[in-house]
Structure 1
Amino acid sequence: MDSFFIRSEIPADIPAIFDVNLQAFGQDGEARLVRALRNDGDYIPDLSLVAVYNDKIIGHIFFAPISIDSEDAHVPAVALAPLSVCLEHQCQGVGSILVEEGLKACRQLGHRIVIVVGHPTYYPRFGFTTAPTLGINAPFPCRNEVFMVCPLVPGALDGIHGTVRYPPAFEAEGAHAG
């Protein structure tokens, strides 16, 4: 594949982003989630990135604000959800570049912790590790190995424990499938 580039989404991208998510997942749950997060204001424009190839959006990554809550702390974090690549461009490095650029953008904006519910052999290459082993728990039933956390700066997870709190759209759109 010739080169593609990554940039923040613009309003004109929204229909294409919906289509990429729909195609990548074979159903509209993730596409509806992104739409609901935008509509609810649980949206960081600089953390909704698209991969563009020949003026066409071929991939998308979205990070939403969340928190890790315990009795004595409320720690801000972001959730990587979803990551999608058009079927004809999968397994060509597009998803990896989106994750790398997304994590870089998170760091540049001062975020310290990223949570993902994802494939246990894919995300560790980017620094993700199983969250429950560190005392960070999902608020919904899911297998431990798919609930992961990535510290973006050294020491970001020191003393952090609790349950992740997602925006209401995650519950409403049924996006929690582990």
Structure 2
Amino acid sequence: MNIRTETGADYEKVHTLLTRAFPGQEEAILVQRLRADNSFQQELSIVAEENGKITGHIMFSQAALWEGGHAHSVAALAPLAVLPEFQRQGIGGKLIEEGKRRCRSLGYPLVFLFGHPSYYPRYGFVQARNYGMEMTQFTVSDEVFMVAELQEGALHSLHGEFRFHPAFEELG
């Protein structure tokens, strides 16, 4: 399996993957909107490829953690998708770990997500509200609002209100 940066030649295959992995078009539309934004970082859109077939995709986008009047630049993980016939083979985990490594190298202190509470903790994600993080942009339970520390001490030194990129608000 090859984990690599997505290229323009992958866009159609990733679109197909997203529509197969999720019901509806929301995730595919979100990825298109994030790619079109000036803040898009190509190296944070990552694919898993096996024998020339795109089997998985993950995207990280720039987000903000507002503390008082100051916004800390943080990352958001969404979406993560693996073709149904390739799920439960470790592809998602490899994409998460590579994405976290790239986010860390770009200087992001934290990465946030909404996700399954029994899956993401194995990759270092913890409940964000337990660390003084809030979310008002969307209504979500404590169990699915998670964060992972990318820079040592960031979970204890940064607090505030997390906000996804505005492209997330345009869905639905």
Q: Distance between the aligned counterparts of 2:37 and 2:100, measured in 1?
A: 23
Residue 72 of structure 1 deviates from its aligned partner by 4.3
Q: Could you give the per-residue CA deviations for residues 75-131 of structure 1, whole angstroms, max 9, x where no partner exists?
A: 110000000000110011111111111111111222211001000011111111000
Q: Distance between the aligned counterparts of 1:111 and 1:126, measured in 2?
A: 17
Query: Which moves more between the two structures, 80-89 or 103-112?
Result: 103-112
Residue 24 of structure 1 deviates from its aligned partner by 0.6
- TM-score normalised by structure 2 residue count: 0.95
Within-5 A mapping of 1:41-56: 41-56=38-53
| Corresponding residue for residue 92 of structure 2 | 95
Q: Could you give the per-residue CA deviations for residues 142-176 of structure 1, whole angstroms, max 9, x where no partner exists?
A: 011100000112111233221112221100024xx
Q: Distance between the aligned counterparts of 1:50 and 1:134, measured in 2?
A: 31
**Partner letter of residue 100 of structure 1?**
E
Which of 150, 153, 156 is 1:152 aligned to? 150
Task: Answer yes or no: is 1:81 the counterpart of 2:94.
Answer: no
Aligned length: 171
Hey, which bits of structure 1, 4+ residues long, moved more than 3 A?
Answer: none
- Secondary structure of the structure 2 residue equivalent to 1:50: strand
Q: Is the 8 A contact 1:42 1:167 kept in 2?
A: no
Task: Answer yes or no: is 1:24 the counterpart of 2:21.
Answer: yes
Q: Any unmatched runs of 5+ in structure 2?
A: none
Q: Is the 8 A contact 1:67 1:76 kept in 2?
A: yes
- Secondary structure of the structure 2 residue equivalent to 1:172: coil
Query: Which moves more between the two structures, 43-52 or 101-110?
Result: 101-110
Q: Is the 8 A contact 2:74 2:110 kept in 1?
A: yes
Q: Any unmatched runs of 5+ in structure 1?
A: none
| Corresponding residue for residue 163 of structure 1 | 161
CA RMSD of aligned residues (A): 1.1
Query: Which moves more between the two structures, 103-112 or 75-84?
Result: 103-112
- Secondary structure of the structure 1 residue equivalent to 2:118: coil
Q: Distance between the aligned counterparts of 2:32 and 2:39, measured in 1?
A: 10
| Corresponding residue for residue 5 of structure 1 | 2
| Corresponding residue for residue 171 of structure 2 | 173
Q: Is the 8 A contact 2:48 2:95 kept in 1?
A: yes
Judging changes above 3 Å, is the alpha-carbon distance between structure 1 residues 159 and 107 closer, same or farther for their aligned structure 2 residues? closer
Within-5 A mapping of 1:122-133: 122-133=119-130
Percent of matched pairs sharing the same residue: 43
